[in-house]
Amino acid sequence: MERIFIFDTTLRDGEQAPGASMTLDQKLAVARQLEILGVDIIEAGFPVSSPYQFETVQAVAAEIRNATIAALARAVRSDIDKAAESIRKACSGRIHTFIATSPIHMEYKLKKTPDEVLAMAVEAVRYARNLCGEVEFSAEDGTRSDIDFLCRITEKVIEAGARIVNIPDTVGYSTPEEYGALIAAIRNRVPNIDKAVLSVHNHNDLGMGVATSLAGIQNGARQIECTVNGIGERAGNAAMEEIVMAMKVRKDLFPFEMKIDTRQIYKTSRLVANTIAYPLPKNKAVVGENTFLHESGIHQDGVLKHKQTYEIMRPEDVGREVNNIVLGRHSGRNAILTRIQELGIALSPEETELVYNRFLKVADKKKEVYDEDLFSIVNDELGRQNSFYTMDYFNIISGNAPLIPTATVELKYNGESYREAAVGDGPVAAVIRAIDRITGLKTRLTEFNLQAVTPNKNALGEAGVSVLIDGKNYSGRGSSTDILEATAKAYLNAVNNYCIHKNRPEAEC
């Protein structure tokens, strides 16, 4: 069978989603899990855009051994030089250079003629090929490009040394039938297309990112560029887990091989969701909480008689195995740490101790601790590391009028403790104002969500927030059996993410 290559751009395109920026340690943790998952290529970042981006690509390239590490570069020499330097220590490296090819982009963004764009693309690929053994070229906004020009530039960059050519639907404009026809036309009209792998990279603005990507595969593309949970610019990218499982379930339509270990999908999905504080919708395809739940009596009856009546895949296919070990306050250290390892979570000895101590506190308040609780506990504790502010104490007084919601918060910063109190329209507003009084930041809460991580009335609550600071959104997440504590932790996590970003030696392009 032919091979399909999975190119994961969670660390680059995915991180461009509002509020989804990650620290270096977080990026490395996601990269490690992507390696375990079995993706073929990890696009680690855009090195020239900032010193921080260069550092993260370099760190991922130095550590990951079983995936190709790609670095993005515009079709200019300075970008390509930075990309080449950033992946120098990679076992397998790739320079991914791009330039826009649609009339609207060439005229208004680049202010260049098609001939000038063609010359820049060829020069960029040729230059990159002298610095790296593997070069990919992307025709940005390919689906709105003139087909004759697209075929021409594809032929020329292959002649110059590109071995992967990507035709992205950059703005999610195309339909599956239309996109499939575009890929077929390029395969039929470009004489040297057999010397390169055709790639697809489709956005989800009209909700068709996965469908257009699969249409590309059916018409001859052999690399799919995607992100975990579909995160990315605007409405996001084609979701990796949906693409992989669609090809696995519909093997009759997609008779291809992949290197992906699908049993790692759920772990990878939860890791990314927790890392960037983007909660998974319950009805999210493949990895959502409701994927394997059946409430309708007719459905329940059918599943009890034969699972395939209403289930086209099994929970264990994506790594949602039934766990027979119940963790609680009487569980031993070994049982807890073994389960954490089984979930694919790698911890240092110091992190292990932090997580174990937090587990004991949660287990004192809950009868049973589920896998979802463990994910939240790990994310919470790791998020506290390298934090600028930590919360030592909080107290909230709230109730019906005439009682005014009041919050008292004590934070630690650089070894010093600071305490403030504030009132608000409700307890959430009060605790946020108290934190803001300590940090001195001017913020605006732009998104707030709260959900139970697991069932039952003593469930761990998980809060997710998005906070606007200095014109940019920062996400945060926190968990606790007390929802107000979870909210305070989430807000403080967002503030810490801002502080981390502010203290990077970078100037984002």
Helix H, strand E, coil C: the string for 71-97 is EEEECCHHHHHHHHHHCCCCCCEEEEE
- Report the distance separating Cα 128 and Cα 135, nearest Å: 7
Compute the chain's Rg from CA coordinates: 24
148 pLDDT more than 90 = yes
User: What CATH code is assigned to 2-276?
Assistant: 3.20.20.70
- The architecture in CATH of the region 387-502 reads 2-Layer Sandwich (3.30)
Backbone angles phi, psi at 345, to 5 degrees: -100, 120
Q: Which of 43, 92, 88, 33 is nearest to 66 (CA)?
A: 92
Q: Residue 95 pairs with which residues in a beta bridge?
A: 71, 135
Question: Is the Cβ–Cβ distance between 176 and 169 less than 8 Å?
Answer: no
Q: What pLDDT is attached to residue 507?
A: 37
277 pLDDT more than 80 = no
Q: Which of 134, 152, 237 is nearest to 193 (CA)?
A: 152
Q: What pLDDT is attached to residue 505?
A: 52
Q: What pLDDT is attached to residue 168?
A: 98
201 pLDDT more than 80 = yes
Mind listing the pLDDT tens digit for each residue in 62-120? 999 999 999 999 999 999 999 999 999 999 999 999 999 999 999 999 999 999 999 99
Mind listing the pLDDT tens digit for each residue in 420-436? 999 999 999 999 999 99
Q: Where in the chain is the domain with CATH 3.20.20.70?
A: 2-276
Question: Is the Cβ–Cβ distance between 448 and 429 less than 8 Å?
Answer: no
39 pLDDT more than 60 = yes
What single-letter amino acid sits at 461? G
Q: What pLDDT is attached to residue 90?
A: 98
CA 302 from centroid of its chain's CA atoms: 35
- Omega before residue 402 within 30° of 0, cis: yes
- Report the distance separating Cα 445 and Cα 276, nearest Å: 16
pLDDT-derived band at 219, boundaries 50, 70, 90: very high
Mean predicted confidence (pLDDT) in 157-173: 98
CA 14 from centroid of its chain's CA atoms: 5
Q: What pLDDT is attached to residue 426?
A: 93
Of residues 15 and 324, more confidently modeled: 15
Structure tokens at 294: 């059946």
Q: What pLDDT is attached to residue 501?
A: 81
Q: Which of 204-218, 438-452, 456-470 has the highest mean pLDDT?
A: 204-218
Q: Which of 37, 33, 39 is nearest to 7 (CA)?
A: 39
Q: What pLDDT is attached to residue 508?
A: 37
- Report the distance separating Cα 71 and Cα 59, nearest Å: 12
- Report the distance separating Cα 343 and Cα 371, nearest Å: 8
DSSP single-letter state for residue 13: T
Q: What pLDDT is attached to residue 506?
A: 47
1 pLDDT more than 90 = no
171 pLDDT more than 70 = yes
3-state secondary structure labels for all residues of 127-195? HHHCCCCCEEEEEECHHHCCHHHHHHHHHHHHHHCCCEEEEEECCCCCCHHHHHHHHHHHHHHCCCHHH
509 pLDDT more than 50 = no
Q: What pLDDT is attached to residue 278?
A: 82
Q: Where in the chain is the domain with CATH 3.30.160.270?
A: 387-502
Mind listing the pLDDT tens digit for each residue in 374-420? 888 887 777 666 689 999 999 999 887 778 999 999 999 988 999 99
Q: What pLDDT is attached to residue 76?
A: 97
Mind listing the pLDDT tens digit for each residue in 321-371? 655 456 887 787 888 888 888 777 778 888 888 888 888 888 888 777 877
Which stretch of DSSP H or E encloses residue 270? Answer: helix 265-276
Q: What pLDDT is attached to residue 19?
A: 78
Of 52-56, 63-67, 321-325, 448-452, minimum mean pLDDT range: 321-325
Mean pLDDT (the chain) is 90
Of 250-254, 255-259, 372-376, 393-397, minimum mean pLDDT range: 372-376
- Cα atoms found within 13 Å of the Cα of residue 434, Cβ hemisphere only: 30
- Report the distance separating Cα 77 and Cα 100, nearest Å: 16
Of 159-163, 241-245, 375-379, 411-415, minimum mean pLDDT range: 375-379
- Report the distance separating Cα 363 and Cα 337, nearest Å: 14
